[in-house]
Amino acid sequence: MSRVPKPKQIVRIAVLVGIAVFILSQTSLNEMRYASSEYSYKTAKVAKILGAIQLKDSGAIMRLFSKNTVEAVGEQGMQEGIEYLFTVIQGDIECVEVSRVSHGGWVYDWKDSWLNGDYGKRFWQARIYATITTDVDVYDLYVADYLFNSLERGETGVSKIALLRQEDREQYYKPFYSDWFFQTDFRGVFRTDILGRAIAETGVDVSGDKKLEAVTEALENDDTEAIVGLFSGMARELVGEDKLAAGAAYSSKLFDGDVDGYYMSSLSAKRQIDIEDGKVVLTNYMWYDLFRNKDTESEERYFLYIRDVLVNELHPDQVGIDQLMLMGRGEDHEWVNPGEAFGSEAYGIYCSERADPDEYIVNLGESPGK
């Protein structure tokens, strides 16, 4: 005896099939022939998400997320985020364009992976991006989804979703690069409404360009007082303004010139966003290559790293720079990774060229590499 679908199931199936067909109708035959299984996957995933949003089916969306994500965010936080998704899209969907970038890896470090049992394990994360056009507005949908992950139990599934108006993306989130969402540290549903409010209220420069300009201008002019003033109140109190001024003076002497070119380093930049009880903490991790005498035989290149807390509605005294490092690049200069130099709980200025490079740093946690 065959099972007859319930009316609600029929509606759900119709919505999902309709969205999937609609997405496929926007795709050329050549695109369909290119990695058809991949295209079917991303189309199905977007169809599931949009279908669940249209049906306001919070359970269907919750089931898409990985076990670890649900546990990390908590069911209440997940539910609040999902309810927010239901409020974003206005109007009738007219067009959906889907693209995808995937990346994965195999553990191949023989020494470590053989010892800890990870050799041969692998993961594959899909990064899905869709543009949704309605008769009212245009929206961006971002999804980070682990298709499989044998490195960590409970990670298979969606780790984060963002749905926002394109106009808001241009205003608040785009300044780094088009892949900003996937380089952002958070799990669950991205609350663009809460973050957008915090950015609008504080008027911060999310791109970091103004802070870079202020730092380089102070370095060029040997203005140690200005550099110290860019640090957060907490950093100034922990490290001491005299020590920060000494570190700033050393960095200015190392640079000893004018910046005539820069670009964001190949190390890339990262934005960390934490939202707790509706309060936002937004931190920029910025890596820059700076130049003197650019494109000449006497060109000199420097590396500048800044950790800058843009917004902290939980602890306002932590707003400002709390980590800074300037070092020369090239054969005459030893490379130091900022993560190894500072760690997550260090504050101050790291002077890589000194015999005691962390003299102007206070570390509240275990020293990196120890």
Per-residue pLDDT for 47 more than 70? yes
**Alpha carbon distance 109, 112 (integer Å):** 6
**Distances in Å between the alpha carbon of 236 and those of 43, 197, 251, 363?**
51, 28, 17, 13
Same domain, 246 and 285: yes
User: In the predicted model, what is the mean pLDDT of residues 96-110?
Assistant: 64
Q: Is residue 64 part of a domain?
A: yes
166 plus 281 within the same structural domain: no
Structural domains in the chain (count): 2
Residue with the larger pLDDT of the pair 345 and 136: 136
Instruction: Based on the fold, state whether residues 217 and 172 are members of the same structural domain.
Output: no
Mean pLDDT of the chain, nearest integer? 78
* Residue bearing the bigger pLDDT, 33 or 132: 132
Q: Widest CA span of the chain, in angstroms?
A: 85
Kindly state whether residue 370 falls inside one of the protein's structural domains. no
Residue 201 lies in a domain: no
Token pair belonging to 198: 């915090």
Calculate mean pLDDT across residues 142-170. 82
Domain hosting 85: range is 7-181
Note whether 164 and 221 are same-domain residues.
no
Q: Is the pTM of this model over 0.85?
A: no
Give the model's confidence band at 271: pLDDT under 50 very low, under 70 low, under 90 confident, else very high: confident
Task: Provide the 3-class DSSP secondary structure of residue 90.
Answer: coil
295 and 165 housed in the same domain = no
Looking at the structure, do residues 87 and 136 belong to the same domain, yes or no?
A: yes
Residue 236 maps to a domain: yes
Residues 171 and 213 in one domain: no
Looking at the structure, tell me whether residues 270 and 345 fall in a common domain: yes
Residue 7's pLDDT is what? 53
Cα torsion 133, 65, 19, 41 to 10°: value is 110
Whether 320 is in a domain gets the answer yes
Is 187 a domain residue? no
Does residue 203 fall inside a structural domain? Answer: no
Dist. CA 99–CA 140, nearest whole Å: 11
pLDDT of residue 2: 47
For the segment 317-330, what is each residue's pLDDT rounded down to a tens digit? Answer: 999 999 999 888 77
Q: Tell me if 330 is assigned to some domain.
A: yes
Residue range 216-230: average pLDDT? 93
Q: Locate 285 and state its tokens.
A: 């991790």
Residue with tokens 């420069």: 205
Residue 366 banded pLDDT, cuts 50, 70, 90: low
| pLDDT of 335 over the 90 cut | no
In which element (H, E) is residue 310 found? strand 300-312
Instruction: Name the least confident of 9-23, 148-162, 211-225.
Output: 9-23
- Say if residue 140 is in the same domain as residue 285: no
239 and 145 assigned to the same domain: no
Provide the pLDDT for residue 28.
39
Indicate whether 269 and 175 sit together in one domain: no
Asked if pLDDT for residue 135 goes beyond 60, the answer is yes
Using the structure block, give the residue that is written with the tokens 């960390």.
272
Can you give the pLDDT at residue 120?
58
In this structure, of 13-22, 93-102, 198-207, the range with the lowest mean pLDDT score is 13-22
- In the 3-class helix/strand/coil scheme, how is 152-188 assigned residue by residue? CCCCCEEEEEEEEEHHHHHHHHCCCCCCHHHHEECCE
- Residue 215 sits in a domain whose CATH number is 3.10.450.50
pLDDT in tens, 280-332: 998 888 888 887 766 667 678 888 999 999 999 999 999 999 999 988 877 77
The last residue of one of the domains, among 132, 165, 181, is 181
The stretch 131-138 carries a mean pLDDT of 93
Same domain for 169 and 45, yes or no, is yes
What pLDDT does 269 receive? Answer: 64
Give the pLDDT band (50/70/90) at residue 200: confident
Residues 6+ apart with CB under 8 A from 180: 173, 174, 271
